Amino acid sequence: MLAVLRPAFAVVGLGVLVLLVRDVGTEELGKVLSRAAPWLPLVLLLEAARLALDAVGTWVAYGSRAQEVPFRAMLRAQLISTPVSTLAPAGRTAGEAMKAALVSRYTGGATAAAAAATSQAASLVSGGLISIPCALAAYLLTGSSWLTLALGVHTVALVLVGMGMRAGMRAQRIGAWLKRRFHRIATHTETFQDSARCDGLLPARPIVATFLGRALQVVQYGTLAVAVGIDTNTLQALVAQGLNMVALAVGTLVPGQFGVSDGAFALSAQLFGTTVAKAVSIALLAHVVQVLFVLVGSLTPMVWKTDAPKGD
């Protein structure tokens, strides 16, 4: 079903984007984007730092076995998984699965899967936590608006889902049922749960790493707003990040959120006290950054090789 829906939503998203660009005017958008071009290297640097923090989040999720996984291999896996996270169904979940597959030779599949699931749970919790200041900023700027409500729901949902994932990973009854039902994976299930129980219900280090990545993204969107000519303050930078996260949640089936994030920023131009062209340009520049890192990730396997683990 997803195989059919994903291309359909991609077409719809691109269609919405084309209509937005035509409505705003290519000439006006071109002027705004040309003005923002000198800021692009800084935005790319912030994105690279954010991806590095995501790699750290997954790496420390291995707990005591993190030293068995060379960080350079984790960083390489992070880059390779970026196109998957951006374009594939399930987004970051698929990206974490890709990272686990790429580094599983160092610790085994079950341990890598547990670390990937922990990293995903940490990302959800940190996304909920960063939504709190974003929701507060939205309330201060817009009152009890749809955006404030959406970010409030986003906060609660992400924290609960993240905690639920971790609880399920560690639950003895679920592990016992899996071992009874699927005998062939009994050993892997035990290893997976042992790895999941090495840290608390809410693993601090992965959550801190992914939260710092989210905080960098706030800076990134604030920088994009300044780049397009918006006189931006901290509240508006937080609202821009909030819009990005809401668009990510709503447009989860749309690759790269093309059309979804652009529409969200277009509808919220008044929040920034600016024109629709400048607001849409924030999302367009974010897409440029996405596409560039998708290309980098796609080329990484060809130009960056890793050594085999010791003992192979």
**pLDDT at position 211:** 95
281, 29 contact by CB (below 8 A): yes
Rounded-to-5 percentages of helix, strand, coil across the chain: 85, 0, 15
pLDDT of residue 75: 95
Q: Kindly report the three-state secondary structure assignment for every residue of the chain.
A: CHHHHHHHHHHHHHHHHHHHHHHHCHHHHHHHHHHHHHHHHHHHHHHHHHHHHHHHHHHHCCHHHHHHCCHHHHHHHHHHHHHHHHHCCCCHHHHHHHHHHHHHHHHCHHHHHHHHHHHHHHHHHHHHHHHHHHHHHHHHHHCCCHHHHHHHHHHHHHHHHHHHHHHHHHCHHHHHHHHHHCHHHHHHHHHHHHHHCCCCCCCHHHHHHHHHHHHHHHHHHHHHHHHCCCCCCHHHHHHHHHHHHHHHHHCCCCHHHCCHHHHHHHHCHHHHCCCHHHHHHHHHHHHHHHHHHHHHHHHHHHHCCCCCCCCC
- The 3-state DSSP class for residue 296 equals helix
At 270, give phi and psi (nearest 5°): -65, -30
Sequence spans of domains, the chain: 40-216
The pLDDT, as a whole number, for residue 181 is 66
pLDDT per residue of the chain (312 residues) written in tens, 0 to 9? 545 555 665 565 566 666 666 666 677 777 778 888 889 999 999 999 999 999 999 999 998 888 999 999 999 999 999 988 887 766 788 888 999 999 999 988 888 988 999 999 999 999 999 999 999 999 998 888 888 999 999 999 999 999 998 888 877 777 666 666 665 656 767 778 777 777 778 889 999 999 999 999 999 989 998 898 888 888 888 988 888 888 777 666 666 666 677 777 777 787 778 888 888 888 888 888 888 999 999 999 988 877 655 555
Q: With helix as H, strand as E and coil as C, how does 43-62 read?
A: HHHHHHHHHHHHHHHHHHCC
- Best CA proximity match to 210, nearest among 128, 300, 138, 289: 128
Q: What would the two tokens of residue 212 be?
A: 């710092």
Backbone angles phi, psi at 161, to 5 degrees: -65, -40
- Are 228 and 133 spatial neighbours (Cβ–Cβ below 8 Å)? no
C-beta separation of 128 from 245 below 8 A: no
Whole-prediction pTM:
0.85
Question: Is-contact 277 29, C-beta < 8 A?
Answer: yes
**To 10 degrees, what angle do helices 204-227 and 40-60 make?**
170
Residue 273 has a pLDDT of: 80
**CB atoms closer than 10 angstroms to residue 94:** 16
Angle between helices 26-36 and 276-303 (to 10 degrees): 60
Main-chain phi, psi angles of 196, to 5 degrees: -70, -25
pLDDT at 77: 94
Across the chain, which distance is largest between two alpha carbons, in Å? Answer: 64
Residue 164: strand, helix, or coil: helix
